Structure 1
């Protein structure tokens, strides 16, 4: 007799997913930036309003929001888009601008499914390379992405969390080739 399998998947986000995405994002950000972000940035209601607006208004055809589901509950999310860095080509370089899995849902395959769905989405949007930024000290995410075929490309930056230069986080950029293996 085989054991039951979980009902898990990844799909494009719907407007109704705003609150679920916000809940995951706030839990992830509390873990990464708890002492650095203003309280409003960690308020689920306010973050849900931003997601609701983003998911219901027109946006670039190659901007995508994906959600990882466990049954009908959002366990993680990702955002793909054309890469915005000045040294990237927005035609051929795509970016995983956000990637988050709720802390309680990690190590269950949601992150792997999201990364694969991001790659598939970026390939479908005709990108040939993907980039993503992560906090320089996030060794767990770096190891996860490195194991998935990503590597540092030498770029680094300081992310301004408050928009006024008072609080910054050092980040490194990783990249990977997209498409069929040569």
Structure 2
């Protein structure tokens, strides 16, 4: 009896056992991506166990069947993740899904994990009945924007400002990108 080959690099739905690794990837990705954009005091509060606890809840008790967390794996190790959900924006249409998180471990960038993860996100949103996807990007996150735009994502007119401290002393501006989830007709 021979063993079946196992993909060295893949994407699948997240399991509860993945959530510590997801939290660690998010902490590393936030520190790398947002260091120039956030006050040092806020970056110092980035905490992998806190992120992991939130992701454990999202994976084990999602608010609906259309809330999903995906992980990108390399040799069984989590190197990226994404979360999808119905869009909750005020101008949402019934077919609008949202990518609420999309991060690849900085040490694994440029190895194809983001592309595999993005394809799986589109497939997951389509399978959940969405016809358009949205994602909010931090203004200044040029790496993620530079990755998404060639993949067919484009800005729409939506923008918002997040008050990170509740007192206006630390804010982040975001822009929304969108893409059609229609299958290519080729």
Query: Given the two structures, how large is their TM-score scaled by the length of structure 2?
Result: 0.88
Offset, 1:163: 3.8
Cα separation, 2, equivalents of 1:53 and 1:64: 11
Segments of structure 1 that go 5 or more residues without pairing to the other structure are 1-5
Which of 66, 73, 91 is equivalent to 1:69? Answer: 73
The aligned counterpart of 1:19 is: 20
Q: CA-atom RMSD, angstroms?
A: 1.7
Q: Does 1:147 align with 2:145?
A: no
Q: Does 1:8 align with 2:9?
A: yes
Cα separation, 2, equivalents of 1:147 and 1:58: 31
Task: Give the conservation status (yes or no) of the 8 Å contact 2:59–2:68.
Answer: no
Aligned pairs (5 A) from 1:52-131: 52-89=56-93, 91-131=94-134
Cα separation, 1, equivalents of 2:62 and 2:102: 22
Q: Secondary structure at the match of 1:67?
A: strand
- More off after superposition, 10-19 vs 47-56: 47-56
The aligned counterpart of 2:169 is: 166
Task: Write out per-residue CA displacement over residues 36-75 of structure 1, whole angstroms, 9 at most, x where no aligned residue.
Answer: 32644x1222222222222222421100000000011000
Offset, 1:127: 0.5
Cα separation, 1, equivalents of 2:34 and 2:163: 12
Segments of structure 2 that go 5 or more residues without pairing to the other structure are 1-6
Offset, 1:94: 0.3
Offset, 1:167: 1.3
Cα separation, 2, equivalents of 1:147 and 1:115: 12
Q: Does 1:135 align with 2:133?
A: no
The number of residues matched between the two structures is 176
Cα separation, 2, equivalents of 1:137 and 1:58: 30
